[in-house]
A and B are shown apart, each in its own frame.
Chain A
């Protein structure tokens, strides 16, 4: 049933309810206010009598209180009260309800609702959209609203998440043409460009980062990217200064803050020559596996302690379609900033294919585990899934 039929039914039900009680009003309970006050006055007298019998008051106080109850009651009985009896003009009021209730309800609803029914509305109500569906919805929205800056920016982010970097850059460019003064867009755009350019900080992205910092010198994302640029040109002092500045503006609870702290620690190690250890993992996926699993399934490659808790020490998770055959795990991939990969001694490497990408092993996950390796040896591990 369409939404309008449901709304119609709700209105009909509401009107029917109102009319019914207009035609057949609830009976007055027959209690009279004056009688109620008289009854309560009598009850107070009984309570007073009880107080006297229990010795809570003496005779003199009893007499005084009794007099007060009587005078209070006399005052209350003198007060006017409304008499309600007639049931005239019911049809007129029923007509008023029939006309005004739908007009009022529909008028208020139309003015307040920002809902735009789409063909997949039922789907929206039952489950969250996938990234592809989101991108499609945003595109559909942009067909009608080509000047919506936020939508172009969101489309750029969504395409980037989907790995469609070219489409992402196009969307960012559209957003940039509408508003080139949004630091957040400049950072996102620069980030996508750098990613498309094999992580090279050259050309326009550098200018975009500079522009973002001119607009907002405290933008943490821009400070982060500027720091990465400084590292790429071996200017570690500048990188540290930029990242420390970012730390001053990031909230205490922010996960970005913890990541940045971790990177700064890593940078200190690099500067002191104490370069962190790495575990290089080469994974061979058999044709059988590739045929059996979706390209969107996740490949989870992690290192865990050889003994003790099974929690990953360092992990990288990526879709099969994005896997190039090898990953290098370092302190940068550590799960806990205070328990870095290089702080561990013996470990095993685990490679798991998962449909959900959940941290917990699922029933249909495929997994292979390496022999024990020493982290300090910077091992290269080759594992085959078939």
Chain B
């Protein structure tokens, strides 16, 4: 019975999403306050019923209710309780329910925290968010119902993909969805402004903190995904240019461009066209990413055709969102005229160049991800686009973007002069040159040398800027510190990614018991393999001792698991540190106690995720800048006095 109440709660959530959209729209059109002000209570009810539906589905997993098809397909009685709960978002239907829940959660946050927005503006925004919710709830109920029942109830369920039975995968999807769904907020701000025909300072000022928070979550979600792939997949990689990864990376690139574009629009009233288009593109790519990952299109274009209902819904929804937004943009384009000019050498120009490069990078990823799918679906053959394409196209676009990234903050708004800017940057460039020359003495790899150069370049510029601002009393805002953190995060990431890729060492070897092997000064001794058994799997656990300068520094125990469903899994053993990881994965038994092992030496790999954390932290710092905490009484003083 509980499951049916969950299903009914989801239907009620849809009903309230409709009320959230229809009644306030009528209220705004007719000037009826009672109807217009319904957007918030209807949204809260929508959130409540979505939460009830989610809780019921989670309960169905916990109590092993295999009468629910989704539970029977993704869980069984042997699954540990923690993974039963995370199995809720382990497949398509549940993850879309999580999407809908997070969307309504974000909307509630906007409705509660946007005290500085006039009610009329907030109502418009919530109507747009209600429309998006309707789309998702309809998609859930009509094509991806997580509460669908089985006529014949199995006694045991299937297995949750063992890859998902991991802490990283418990938190990675919710964080990523927080970012994806968060992109709906700047989108709703933009669309509500286009609908109202008021692309004004209010929209620009109050949409930026939401964009920054969404960007922080997106960065954190992608970083978590990379970290998880590294330790869980057993091949030591952290990014594979896999279409699923690209699907999250494209909105991130656009969101990065958007937070910069918004800063120009907010401060100087310029780039409004650009900002509007980026907000639309950011959310559209988030939608595209979610649907690409969850519809199965990426694994096979034929699975798209295999479920025509789901496929057709996806297409119609995407066309409505993208087409509708662009049509609205075209209609209101004349409102975005700006008389605010700027010189070619100005902060505006610097940010514009960065924006163009970020969008070009996004388009290169978009092409590499979707072109093979397009060819395949048209029956024009199969092509494989992998790391070589992305390395060749994406990296050269991003190098000038990274170089320009730290120059722009030194430029003045409106107009600057080469003489002034050279005067400021000359000592920094001298410092960069000297440090680079010194570092070249220690580096013999051209790519690492380039990464070291970029690291020094970003760090010296950022630190100079920071020290300069600290000296000017009162000039260091949270937004400024956020920018410095985020830029330093890019530097840390770049160095970590390049060094680990270029000078990391991988050995795929056969090892006999007590046989040592030395890699980069670390001695690894294979001590054999034990069998073991856990609740829902059994397997082999290797014992590898790692020594440095004769001292035992780690006992590594890589595992090879066999789950009850028969699916094998490799669990790497890692000795982590900030300068290097020692990473051991167990291969196959080769007879007489010998095993194949993969041993990696991964210098600076933790810097990749440390960089991601710096960027996320930077975004959050900027989102809480005092400009976005303007006292409400200051905004409404006059109108209250008038009323």
Contact = CB atoms under 8 A, between A and B. Distances in A.
B3 A125 contact: yes
Given A31-B119, A82-B196, A114 B34 contact: no
A87 B153 contact: no
Contact of A6 (B5, B32, B49, B533): B5
Contacts of A360: 533
Nearest to A22: B34
A33 B5 contact: no
Nearest to B151: A141
Contacts of B41: 17-18, 20-21, 26
Interface stretch (B14-22, B292-300, B392-400, B431-439): B14-22
A31 B34 contact: no
Contact of A109 (B11, B66, B117): B11
A256 interface: yes
Contacts of B119: 28-29, 31, 84
Contact of B201 (A11, A72, A128): A72
Given A21-B41, A31-B117, A33-B118, A127 B413 contact: no
Contacts of B197: 79-80
Contacts of A309: 530-532
Contact of A82 (B31, B154, B531, B627): B31
B469 to A, nearest CB: 8
Contacts of A306: none
A371 to B, nearest CB: 23
A350 to B, nearest CB: 15
Interface stretch (B304-312, B574-582, B631-639): B631-639
A86 B31 contact: yes
Of A50, A84, A90, A105, the most chain B CB neighbours within 10 A belong to: A84
A114 B153 CA distance: 13
Given A25-B34, A97-B19, A124-B65, A14 B414 contact: no
B639 A35 contact: yes
B200 A37 contact: yes
A41 interface: yes
B15 A57 contact: no
Given A29-B636, A255-B566, A108 B33 contact: no
B64 A35 contact: no
A130 to B, nearest CB: 7
Interface string A116-131: 1100011011111111
A113 interface: yes
A73 B201 CA distance: 8
Contact of B339 (A68, A89, A113, A134): A68
Interface stretch (B141-149, B355-363, B491-499, B517-525): B141-149
B345 interface: no
A322 B567 CA distance: 29
A36 B36 contact: no
Give the contact-size bracket for chain A: 35 or more
Given A17-B45, A36-B118, A79-B198, A31 B33 contact: no
A234 to B, nearest CB: 30
Interface in B1-59: 1-5, 7-9, 11-12, 14-16, 18-19, 23, 27-28, 30-38, 40-42, 45, 49
A22 B38 contact: yes
Contact of A71 (B152, B339, B538, B567): B339
B182 to A, nearest CB: 23
Contacts of A89: 32
B627 A85 contact: no
Contact of A36 (B196, B202, B627, B643): B202
A286 interface: no
A37 B18 CA distance: 31
Contact of B152 (A65, A84, A124, A154): A154
Contact of A84 (B36, B196, B201, B340): B36
Contact of B531 (A7, A14, A311): A311
Given A81-B198, A105-B12, A138-B152, A47 B65 contact: no
B566 A256 contact: yes
A33 B200 contact: yes
A176 to B, nearest CB: 18
A56 interface: yes
Interface in B529-577: 530-533, 538, 562, 565-568
B28 A39 contact: no
A182 interface: no
Rank and list the top 10 A-B pairs by shortest CB-CB distance, nearest first: A255-B566, A32-B639, A21-B41, A31-B118, A40-B201, A76-B200, A25-B37, A25-B34, A311-B531, A31-B636
14 contacts: A23-B34, A35-B635, A65-B268, A65-B414, A81-B120, A84-B31, A84-B120, A108-B141, A112-B142, A117-B1, A253-B566, A253-B567, A258-B566, A309-B531
Interface of B: 1-5, 7-9, 11-12, 14-16, 18-19, 23, 27-28, 30-38, 40-42, 45, 49, 63-67, 77, 115-121, 141-142, 145, 147-149, 151-156, 196-198, 200-202, 205, 267-269, 335, 338-340, 412-415, 472, 474-475, 530-533, 538, 562, 565-568, 589, 627, 630, 632, 634-640, 642-643
Given A33-B120, A33-B198, 9 more contacts: A20-B41, A25-B37, A27-B37, A85-B31, A113-B4, A115-B7, A116-B149, A253-B568, A309-B532
